[in-house]
């Protein structure tokens, strides 16, 4: 049995009112455009688009809560980690202006922990937070909004041949299915006293002990494939050009959305190429701490 991503048809959903191909193209354009900038001022319009899409998606809070909180936690975690360590930011800025330095009152094996708070680190963390929030908000909506029944025809519509479109379609459909199978197998093995989190011994022992999880999930997937193969063979898969149950057709508003996405992308790349939108800190703050 296939388990789908958490999709359902939603009334008055802005995303679902478009052709999935048009929406994916717009999403990709938005995605790249967002990541063309580090300047918080340039990122704000993208954050506004992302929030608009979220609020008009028709996805209920209780549906998205777990995934949303998980992602928000990760975005904050990495932004704070970047702020504390300064890692990652050095590729974007070269000079740092110190606001304050906190030095620990203790040492560990001769090393004294030091936290340097600089303007660049602080603004880099904010930029990172905004950028990833824009991307995450729009990305998280895809599995909730894109009908799994349309994966194949969408890939086909984007130019892939039938067999590859169908293989990609199946791959995307199988990922949550096998994730569930893994969980079921692990629960079944736990009931028999197997604990994946507590495997011990040398490396060979540890690898060997992964077998009770690894082998059943894989072999079960292969056995299950026979039903799918039979069903596809019975429908003469691959004998001739494939017809799809659903037919996607672009409407005027889909073309408008694609055009808007492409214009946004071209404009963003152009602006970025002209040197605008790079990492920014307010001059007044720099002067203050110079």
Partner 1 sequence: MDKKFTNVLISLVVVLALFAVVMFVLGAQEPAEGALFNFSVDQASVVSRFVFVVIGIAIAFGVYFATKSNKAWEVGTREVVWMAIGAALYAVFSWLFNGTVFVVPSLSQVSLRPAIAIPMFFGYAFGPVVGFFTGAVGNMFGDALTGFGLSPQWSIGNGLIGFVSGMWMLFSDKKKSMDTVLYVSGALAVLATLLFFMNRGEANMLYFDVDNGIFGDAQISLFAGLAILIGFALIFGVRTFFKNEDVATAVTWGMLGNIVGLLFASLSDIVINGFSLAAAIVGEFLPAAGPNLIFAAILVPMLVVAYASTRRQSGR
Long-range (24+ apart) CB contacts under 8 A made by 98-103 are 98/289, 99/289
Binding of partner 1 by 75 (CB under 8 A): yes
Binding test (CB under 8 A) with partner 1, winner from 17, 147, 177, 189: 177
Work out the number of other CB atoms within 10 angstroms of the CB of residue 284. Answer: 7
Work out the number of other CB atoms within 10 angstroms of the CB of residue 265. Answer: 19
Binding test (CB under 8 A) with partner 1, winner from 56, 90, 112, 171: 171
Instruction: For residue 47, give every residue at least 6 positions away whose Cβ sits within 8 Å of its Cβ, in sequence order, or none.
Output: 130, 133, 134
Least distance in angstroms from the C-beta of 101 to partner 1: 21
Which of 73, 61, 63 shows the shortest CA–CA distance to 143? Answer: 63
For residue 149, with 0-12 CB atoms within 10 Å meaning exposed, 13-18 middle and 19 or more buried, which class applies? middle
Binding of partner 1 by 132 (CB under 8 A): yes
Binding test (CB under 8 A) with partner 1, winner from 51, 126, 167, 260: 167
* Footprint of partner 1 on 229-288 (CB under 8 A): 229, 232-233, 237-238
Binding of partner 1 by 185 (CB under 8 A): no
Stretch 187-216: interaction string toward partner 1, x if CB under 8 A: ---------xx-x--xxx-xxx-xx--xx-
Q: Is 245 or 284 the residue whose CB approaches partner 1 more closely?
A: 245
* Footprint of partner 1 on 95-124 (CB under 8 A): none
Least distance in angstroms from the C-beta of 288 to partner 1: 28
Residue 86 zone, left/alpha/beta (φ > 0; ψ -120 to 50; rest): left
Using the structure block, give the residue that is written with the tokens 């802005």. 14
Which of 42, 20, 81 shows the shortest CA–CA distance to 270? Answer: 42
Binding site for partner 1 (CB under 8 A): 28, 31-32, 34-36, 70-72, 74-75, 77-78, 81, 87-88, 131-132, 135-136, 139-140, 142-143, 159-161, 163-164, 166-175, 177-179, 182, 196-197, 199, 202-204, 206-208, 210-211, 214-215, 217-219, 221-223, 225-226, 228-229, 232-233, 237-238
């Amino acid at each position: 049995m296939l388990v789908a991503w958490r999709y359902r048809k939603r009334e008055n959903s802005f995303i679902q009112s478009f052709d999935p191909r048009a929406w994916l193209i717009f999403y990709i354009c938005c995605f790249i455009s967002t990541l063309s900038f580090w300047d918080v001022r340039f990122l704000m319009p993208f954050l506004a688009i992302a929030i608009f899409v979220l609020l008009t998606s028709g996805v209920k809070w209780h549906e998205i809560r777990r995934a949303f909180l998980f992602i928000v936690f990760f975005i904050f975690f990495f932004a704070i980690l970047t702020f504390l360590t300064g890692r990652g930011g050095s590729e974007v800025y070269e000079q740092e202006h110190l606001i304050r330095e906190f030095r620990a009152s203790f040492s560990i094996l001769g090393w004294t922990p030091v936290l340097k708070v600089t303007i660049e680190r602080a603004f880099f963390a904010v930029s990172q937070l905004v950028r990833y929030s824009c991307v995450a908000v729009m990305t998280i909506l895809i599995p909730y909004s894109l009908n799994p029944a349309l994966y194949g025809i969408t890939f086909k519509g984007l130019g892939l041949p039938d067999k590859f479109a169908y293989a990609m379609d199946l791959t995307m459909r199988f990922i949550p299915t096998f994730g569930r199978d893994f969980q079921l197998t692990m629960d079944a093995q736990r009931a028999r006293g197997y604990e994946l989190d507590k495997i011990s011994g040398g490396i060979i022992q540890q690898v060997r002990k992964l077998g009770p999880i690894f082998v059943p999930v894989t072999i079960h997937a292969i056995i299950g494939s026979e039903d799918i193969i039979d069903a596809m063979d019975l429908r003469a898969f691959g004998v001739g050009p494939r017809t799809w149950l659903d037919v996607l057709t672009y409407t005027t508003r889909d073309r408008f959305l694609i055009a808007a996405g492409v214009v946004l992308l071209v404009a963003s790349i152009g602006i970025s190429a002209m040197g605008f939108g790079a990492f920014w800190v307010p001059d007044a703050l720099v002067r203050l701490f110079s």
